[in-house]
Homo-oligomer: A and B are copies of this chain.
């Protein structure tokens, strides 16, 4: 049985900010969905890139040594591995993340 995942339903399960739930796996990658509300501390991932897709809302990702990235609904950006970043929400937002299963974070949180 191949299951389908409905994002409109899934976001109802999310009430706590910055607490991603795993919604799918594809190869050695994992798809996570999180509520972004407020600010998340500076950190970096040493094991791989992380793709952000804004399903609902709008966010800013501050990036060490680069201009801020602003992402609106339906927009995607990829954070290269090892680059320190800190996301914050412009409004409460739901964000999909694609990243390696074993992604490790290092930072201030």
Contact = CB atoms under 8 A, between A and B. Distances in A.
Contacts of A63: 2
Contacts of A48: 26-27
Given A31-B76, A76-B31, A24 B51 contact: yes
B74 A26 contact: no
Copies of the polypeptide in the assembly: 2
B77 A4 contact: yes
Interface of A: 1-8, 23-27, 29, 31, 48-51, 55, 63, 66-67, 69-72, 74-80, 83, 98-100
Given A26-B51, A26-B99, 7 more contacts: A3-B77, A5-B76, A6-B72, A24-B51, A27-B49, A29-B29, A98-B98
